[in-house]
Each structure stands twice: as C-alpha cells, then as structure tokens.
Structure 1
Amino acid sequence: MVDAATLAETIERRVASGVMTTWLESSLGRRIALVSNGLRAMVLLLQHDDGDPGEHAIDPAAGVGSSGGFVLDNGQVDEYDDRETVPMGEALRIVVSLVSDGVPPSDASWEVDR
C-alpha cells in the first residue's frame, strides 16, 4: 500500500504536469476519481457498477460561484459550482483517507448522489 505522503505528492506532480484526472481504488474496492483545475478538485467515490451516480466531496462554505478548467480524461473541460468541489489540499486529504480507510474523513462534507 502507498503511504499518504507519497500518494498526495504523486497526485500533486500529476496535476502540476497537466494530468488533471487521477483514478484510484479505495481499500474497500470502490473507484475514486479526482478531477482538478489546479486550485480545486472534484472528488468522486463510485461503486464498481458503471451506472452508479456515486457520491462526492462538497464545500458548503464556498458560497455562490463556479470554477472552470477541470480537464477530464477525454479532454473535455468542465466548469463546476465551487460548492461541488473542494480546495486541492482538502481533496488530497480526502483521497488519502478513501484509499487507506475506504471512507472519507469524518469531518469532510459529503453528498450522496444515489
């Protein structure tokens, strides 16, 4: 298993080099996606069912507004409400918890889309 610091550094290097989407697997076997624009990230947790709408990290304190520049694997560039994304540092903290524990940190704001 990868340690937390190595995982966070690897994702940061990927984003810095322009690879804005990272796919991982949690310790419980669920898929994790992190899609970033460099400053913020959409963090998704999906069951292995391709039709699963999943769940994602949210930022209730973000207020009104949106950010663009979220580059998907297929090259599509999306814009998301800031409430639907989290700052990059928080995204890394959440992803590390998902990979190691299978669940987001207990203090992370989370929305289930199922």
Structure 2
Amino acid sequence: MSEATGERWEFADGPGSGADGSVAGLVAGLRGRIGGGRLENWLHSSLGRQLAVVSNGERAMVLLLSGPGDPGEHAVTPGADGCSDGFVLANGQADTYPDADTVPLERALHLVAHLLTTGAPPPDAPWSIDR
C-alpha cells in the first residue's frame, strides 16, 4: 500500500497472482514474472490507476495511466540512442521501442517500487507526459 496515498496495488489478474500485496512482494512478483518470460504486466490500484511494465528482459517500458482511456505518462532515458526489440505483449505481439522511451530493467523495478510506495515517480526520474 502506498504510505502517502493509502492506495493499494495488485496485479490485474488478481491478488492471488504470486505477490503478497506489499510493495516488496509486488516488485519481487514483477521480477519473477519477467524472469519467467511474462513480459507484459499490469498492476491496478484501488484509486483506478493502472501501471504497465513491458520488458524484453533487459529494458522496460514503465507506463502509468490515471485510468482507462488515459494516454498516460512513461519513464524515459533522455539521450539514449537506438531501439530494442523483444517486448512481447500478452497477445503474442512483439514490439520494438526506442531506447529513449524505455529504461534498464533494474531502474524500472526501482521506479515501480518508488511509485507504489509514494504514489509518484521519483523526483529525479525523467518522465514523458503523453496526455
């Protein structure tokens, strides 16, 4: 639960989906899912927000939506050159993203932990507002 907002998060496929509901449990669950080949993961909050993490095992797109239909905002790596592929969605679609629109996986997990704890990305994390 976010200590700052009272917001509770769980995997979109339910609370019994491999995490105990704590921030540490959710991040560990996310790491395990990605390590096990489940590269698209969604978390839903008690306030209606959604957090998507789509990875290729090395980098991740971290996307925060205020609710259904919101174009959202996402973590970025300013100045990164090139693209990475292998971002496989649940429907089997394999995407390629510019590295500037993704972050290294460990950084992504840190961003997720901070967001789940405080309700917002870390102040030093560059984000692109897509709204």
Q: TM-score, normalised by structure 1?
A: 0.89
Q: Which has the higher helix share?
A: 1
Distance 1:53 1:87, change over 3 A: same
Unpaired stretches in structure 1, ≥5 consecutive residues: none
Where does residue 86 of structure 2 map in the other structure? 69
Q: TM-score, normalised by structure 2?
A: 0.78
2: CA distance, partners of 1:70 / 1:49: 22
Unpaired stretches in structure 2, ≥5 consecutive residues: 2-20
How many corresponding residue pairs?
112
CA root-mean-square deviation? 1.5
Where does residue 130 of structure 2 map in the other structure? 113
| Displacement of 1:7 | 2.3
1: CA distance, partners of 2:37 / 2:124: 30
Of structures 1 and 2, the one with the larger relative CO (CA 8 A, separation 6+) is: 1
**Structure whose CA Rg is larger:** 2
Where does residue 48 of structure 1 map in the other structure? 67
Which runs of structure 2 are paired with 1:1-114 in the superposition (5 Å)? 1=1, 2-26=21-45, 28-50=47-69, 52-62=70-80, 64-114=81-131
| Displacement of 1:28 | 4.8
Query: SS at 2:124's partner residue?
Result: coil
Q: Percent identity?
A: 53
Query: SS at 1:60's partner residue?
Result: coil
